[in-house]
Chains A and B, each alone.
Chain A
Amino acid sequence: MTELIPDTVENATATPAKDQPYDLLGLKPDEYQQIRDILGRRPTSGELAMYSVMWSEHCSYKSSKVHLRQFGEKVTEAMTKNLMVGMGENAGVVDIGEGWAVTFKIESHNHPSYIEPFQGAATGIGGIVRDIISMGARPVAVMDALRFGAIDHPDTSRVVNGVVGGISFYGNCLGLPNIGGETWFDPVYQANPLVNALAVGALRHEDLHLANAKGVGNLVVLFGARTGGDGIGGASILASDTFAEGGPTKRPAVQVGDPFAEKVLIECCLELFAGDCVEGIQDLGAAGISCATSELASNGDGGMFITLDNVLLRDPTLTAEEILMSESQERMMAIVRPEMIDAFLAVTTKWDVEASVLGEVTDTGRLIIEWKGQTIVDVDPRTVAIDGPVYDRPMEYPTWLDALQADSPAKFARATDGDELKKQFLTVLGSPNEADTDWITNQYDYYVMGNTALHTPDGAGMIRIDEVSGLGVALATDANGRYCQLDPYIGAQLALVESYRNVASSGATPLAVSDCLNFGSPENPEVMWQFARAVEGLADGCLELGIPVTGGNVSFYNQTGDVPIHPTPVVAVMGSIDNVARRLPSGWQDDGENLYLLGVTADELGGSAWAGSVHDHLGGIPPRVDFTAEKDLAGLLGAAAHEGIVTCAVDLGTGGFIRAVADGVLRFGVGARVWIDEIVSRDGVDATAALFSETQARALVSVAREDDVKFRGLCDGRHVPVLRVGVTDKRSGELEVQGLFSIEIDQMRSVHRGTLPAHFGPVVGG
């Protein structure tokens, strides 16, 4: 083994002309020059490693920053009054009452999940859970929003099996319930699946902790797994590059996760917080030690001194640069007062977690890292972590968009007879994006911990937080890439109102938003235009609904070759409910209840599931958004749940009215008789629109007969249009759409459930 001589600051000053591989690390020539200007010399190789990972799109948000500001600007005082921690920290924290707070965040792990689906998705769960731990919260549930290529493409099964296996492996081993999410199939995601993982945690108000390095002389401690060669430059190099078609696949070392080590880390961190052993804890994710040291120092007293030799290594041959960039999983960095270090180490020893003191907090304004007795990094940490490059990239209205919007599905002949409509209904119900995802969700443990009140296939997941009072939270994620392709501004708002409605339909009150914005290359002006429009739409929408964005993540470069994915801004909405016993499931259970449709129906089939699955068509304009109607509907559902006068609520989304009816029937296998005549006559639409239109701000509810009058009164009082559209029927074993068609529940179920297993095989033994 040859002894590697580190590139020291002294050496860098002495050899200014040395060639440095900045381009291979993803830095542009002007960015490299900027680093030289900041330092007044060439960077050492260690500094170059740090700047290159921290200035990558993934870590620096350099292309999105100028747009994301809107989430902080378009807010009112009322929106932020429940917000204990807003954007910019590891995860936002929301006060849900009774002394409880909830922290939640959604983050992408797209590129690693294409290269190595199992480990990529598994470490995606691990990473987002560590964000939650670092806020001082106990993780209580996870969710996942997934996008895969065409369901019948030969490579899709590999990715689906790997990703779902990875999520279930990591989440199930951690003992966290997976309570929801969504899955879409579309050829645009063929070589670039999206794996967006959400985690939610609960904490008492007084347990809130922020990650910063304050207090000169406080110790910097690295603990958890040892540092190895995993995913060196993974996040940055992977996330800054796209997968070219053909050619050798780019396959650098990915990270391997160890969920049992993470479980121990959760308990260890919670005990460290409880014993007041730490000032703050930062998780190590993308950019590893580079990120943790520079961010902690920037957010604290501004300086830090680190002896890199003290990092415990799994592989002793690692170079200093590799140690700085390693993305080994299950590691945390803590700031500890010197008098508490013995107590700290007692806790880590108890949990069998290795820890080592790397250095201390200073007020010099410099992050200094020594290795083998020499200084290899001497930088202002803010220039690494915060004041990176910011780009206001050029934008262009897409040349193809007007033609796409003009290509309305109105051109398709509408069916009038019952048989044809029945056939279309079954086509929609069994289409990949509308089909039952139980093939996926059955691989997840959704009841572990015993606090799950709702889970897939309910529209929102719900978790009890306080076991005495019954206080709980509901969460839903949504993004319809087809809508966003047609209009990213409206599309992002549609994702927001769909999630909002999902949460409201569970009986909870929507409180806050986390978003994961998945787009193509920001260097493509048309993609940048889509991104800007989506952010603007989402920020405007949040202002209208009065719920703030608390954090999230941006994932660019999601494309294969030159073809970007559909804009996919995944929006997660979190709401609270006083008592989960008052939750509303997404299906009826009793006989003879009345079914009511809330909201009005317009002929809105652009980008719909009907257009996609029946006509293989994407064009026109997406449904309109009406925030006032959404708020009225959510208010009504919350009040009705609180007073116990509705027995279930199904929100209307993709697939429209008939899809919601099917959900209500299939949830508990209780049939129904419905009619659409009054929708047709009141709203002036035809049968196709009544059944399949995706008009927003609608929900289907079941009401016991004795609560009928009260329910009608509630609708009148809150100005929500209402129509009685059916009754539940426990004996018939079928769904009847009066005057059009009937279908047995068993047949509906086999169509709805058969699609995924037909392509991906039985779950056991995959």
Chain B
Amino acid sequence: MPKVIVEVMPKEVLLDPAGKATARALQRFGDGEITDVRIGKRFEITIEGEITPKLLDHIAEVAKDVLSNDVIEDVLSIRVAD
């Protein structure tokens, strides 16, 4: 069955405490060239039947209203999985 992939990231201007902690951990392990890490979310949504433009519109709405918190997160991309 086809899948739609939605990617959500914390807004760029806002602090991402988990990403910051990860970056510092990597630097402690000796990865000097890594300067920053940001952690987001990836949703794989399985669909029954055909993916129509209308369905994608619906998923865009769900992504904005439910899958992300648009005060502190951005929906980065919505695409059909290969």
Contacts and interface: CB of A to CB of B under 8 A. Distances in A.
Interface of A: 115-116, 119, 225, 228-230, 251, 253-258, 260-261, 314-315, 328-329, 352
B21 interface: yes
Interface in B1-22: 10-17, 20-21
A228 B13 contact: yes
B41 to A, nearest CB: 15
A230 B71 CA distance: 12
B15 A228 contact: yes
B15 A328 contact: yes
**Interface pairs A-B: 6 shortest CB-CB:** A229-B13, A258-B17, A116-B71, A256-B15, A256-B14, A251-B71
- Identify whether the interface residues of B are mostly helix, strand, loop, or mixed: loop
B13 A260 contact: no
A261 B16 CA distance: 12
B70 interface: yes
29 contacts: A116-B72, A225-B15, A228-B13, A228-B15, A229-B12, A229-B13, A229-B14, A230-B13, A230-B14, A230-B15, A251-B71, A253-B11, A253-B14, A254-B14, A254-B71, A254-B72, A255-B15, A256-B10, A256-B14, A256-B16, A257-B17, A258-B15, A258-B17, A258-B20, A260-B17, A261-B17, A314-B15, A328-B15, A329-B15
A115 B11 CA distance: 15
Nearest to B69: A116
Contacts of A230: 13-15
B4 to A, nearest CB: 25
Nearest to B71: A116
Contact of A119 (B13, B16, B72): B72
B30 to A, nearest CB: 16
Interface string B61-80: 00000000111100000000
Interface footprint category on B: 10 to 19
Contacts of A314: 15
Interface centre among B10, B11, B14 (most CB of A within 10 A): B14
Nearest to B11: A253
Contacts of B71: 115-116, 119, 251, 254
Given A229-B14, A257-B15, 9 more contacts: A115-B71, A116-B72, A228-B15, A253-B11, A253-B72, A255-B15, A258-B17, A258-B20, A260-B17
A360 B73 CA distance: 38
A315 B21 contact: no
A251 B69 CA distance: 11
A251 B10 CA distance: 15
Given A116-B69, A119-B72, A254-B71, A315 B12 contact: yes
A575 B71 CA distance: 40
Contacts of B17: 256-258, 260-261
A254 B11 CA distance: 10
A253 B14 CA distance: 7
A228 to B, nearest CB: 6
Contacts of B16: 256
A315 B12 CA distance: 9
Interface in B21-55: 21, 24
Contacts of B11: 253
A325 B71 CA distance: 19
